[in-house]
Chain A
Amino acid sequence: MKRMSFQARYRMIGYQFLIPTFLVLLLVVAMPLLFSLVLSMFRYTFLSPRLNEFVGFSNYASVVHDQYFWNSVKVTFLFVLMVVPLEFFIGYGIALMLSRPEIRFKSIFYFILTIPMVMSPVAVGLIWRMLLHPELGVVNYLLGKLGFGYVNWFGDERLALFTVTLVDVWQQVSFMVLLLLSGITSLPKEPFESATIDGANWLQTLLFVKTPLLMPIITVALLQRVITSFKTYDLVYILTSGGPGVSTDLISYNIYRTTFMGLDLSVASAVSYMLLIVILAITVVIFRSTMKGNE
């Protein structure tokens, strides 16, 4: 009995430290979320911002029947499925090379790698818009010199999403490199020594020793990138504004468009909630894996 009350008191102290956090998150996260849940069940637009017409789940129904919503879902999945594997394979390759002890000038490589990571996606987008300009960009000029034809990076409906993918990879691959590198350098030495004694070659060591040992960190890296690429918004805003047509209309951008250009706050809230459920599901996975990693 006495022990219990001690524990309870101990816990109370903990909650005391949590009060400011709790209040702030209530104010800037929980209440807005609740508000948007309410909005999603009413007819609420910029032109008539009143909560007097309850419509239940009909906003959700109209989202489900909206072809632009499904287009965004498709585009977003395509984007995530291109971005994450590309970043992983390039990132893993570079990390393996950088982890070789013979490599010198590592700090220079690290410095260069950190530059895209601390850049605003807006800056990244603007830089690549200039470089990839079909007539005035230096990339098309160089490609022309190498004998390639004119590439309409952002204007071609079939190419635009791929271009956005490449720009995203350019910015985010460093994160993959540095995260995997930190995993590689903290690996124990013994498994590799015994693998060498057993006569394993370079590729066998990589596939059957190194990669399995790195699995926890690889999982975290992949999930982290899946989540952040799901949310990608700024890049599309700067590079393509969702176009041409709706070929790069990622879900976050779609919601932004519905809110601030379509001015339909209720439908935007409904889409938000559907996105929320997907993200939450992925978060459960990431949380489980990080908890495992921390224990």
Chain B
Amino acid sequence: MKSYKLAKQTSLFFTYVALIFFSLMIALPVLWTLRTSFVNEVDAYAMPPRLFPSFTFDNYRELFGNDGFGDFLINSLIISLASTALAVPIASLGGYAFARYKAGGNILRFTVLATQMLPGVVLILPLFIVMSRLHLSDTYLGMTIAYLAFNLPFLIWIMTGFFASIPKDLDDAAAMDGLTPVQSFFRIILPIALPGIMATAVLSFIFSWNEFLFAIVLSGRTTMPIPVRLAAMKTRQGIQIAKLSAGTIIAILPMVFISGFVKRYLITGLSLGAIKS
């Protein structure tokens, strides 16, 4: 019995060692970037790294000062919020139609899923041409609409799952009480599904915030969001590691913060709702 206990203790010890090693592998690169964002350029380059480097807010100050990073943040915020705000109501209706009415059957559901699998690069070329023709490239409107191409299918897919998990009896009861389908959706079903919908909205916001391909093709001087700006810093200011680190931290931090609210839905969302949360 004693040896059994010992074996268990040892195996638990090694499990902890492996898990801590793995976590460090994930966390250290981010922490190193955080460190670099607070040192001056000279220390950012120093190899071997200084044990006690300088500490400065200059990188952040410069980004928000001369570099106008605030504008890029606001661009990201506007586009992500607008696209989410547009996609979520549409997706709720669509998801409800799929879940409750089995509208369109499997074929239509498949089409929506397939849309989500589309490589963005296939869509962006024609979208770019159309947007330029309509003078919608480098406008918030154009980008908001284009972002629907990846936001909507993924939201519908998750929301179909949400609505499917709400008992159908509720709709039937509402119908008995003389509510029309539309009324029953808005008054009965939507309030129940609301927490889930809010969480997926956050997911959609994160996706839009991180989107790069659509952004780099469709944005320009006036609408450039954070990831495009960061990518440009790579080539234009490839030498300024400290500032680039600060920019990267600015891009990551809000997402890490808000992801705390959607922990439970993060996996469901990313696995296309194939599993239930």
Contacts and interface: CB of A to CB of B under 8 A. Distances in A.
A136 B245 CA distance: 14
Given A97-B19, A100-B15, A127-B33, A136 B47 contact: yes
A109 interface: yes
Nearest to B114: A283
A288 B110 CA distance: 9
With most chain A CB atoms within 10 A of its CB, the pick from B96, B110, B118, B244 is B118
Contacts of A244: none
B244 A126 contact: yes
A292 to B, nearest CB: 10
A17 B274 contact: no
Interface string B113-127: 111011111110111
Interface string A167-184: 000100011001100110
A122 B121 contact: no
A230 B119 contact: yes
A136 B238 CA distance: 12
A117 B103 CA distance: 33
A121 B210 contact: yes
A187 interface: no
Given A17-B96, A25-B112, A279 B117 contact: yes
A98 B19 contact: yes
B74 interface: no
Contacts of A119: 210, 251-252, 255-256
B78 interface: no
Interface string B33-63: 1001000000001011100000000000000
B23 interface: yes
Interface in B110-152: 110, 112-115, 117-123, 125-127, 129-130, 145-146, 148-149, 152
B65 interface: no
Instruction: Please classify how large the interface on chain B is, using the bins under 10, 10 to 19, 20 to 34, 35 or more.
Output: 35 or more
B206 interface: yes
Contacts of A121: 210, 212
B139 to A, nearest CB: 15
Interface in B233-257: 234, 241, 244-245, 248, 251-252, 255-256
A170 B96 CA distance: 36
B148 A28 contact: yes
B6 interface: no
Contacts of B73: none
A111 B27 CA distance: 10
Contact of A224 (B206, B210, B256, B271): B271
A182 B114 contact: no
A188 interface: no
Nearest to B161: A294
Interface stretch (A32-40, A80-88, A154-162): A32-40
A130 B241 CA distance: 7
Interface stretch (A59-67, A190-198, A204-212, A267-275): A267-275
B121 A255 contact: yes
Contact of B25 (A28, A126, A170, A217): A170
Contacts of A33: 118, 122-123, 126
A286 B157 CA distance: 13
A286 B116 CA distance: 12
A280 B248 CA distance: 34
Given A17-B93, A29-B123, 12 more contacts: A14-B101, A18-B97, A21-B91, A35-B129, A94-B18, A126-B234, A170-B26, A179-B267, A231-B120, A256-B121, A260-B217, A276-B122
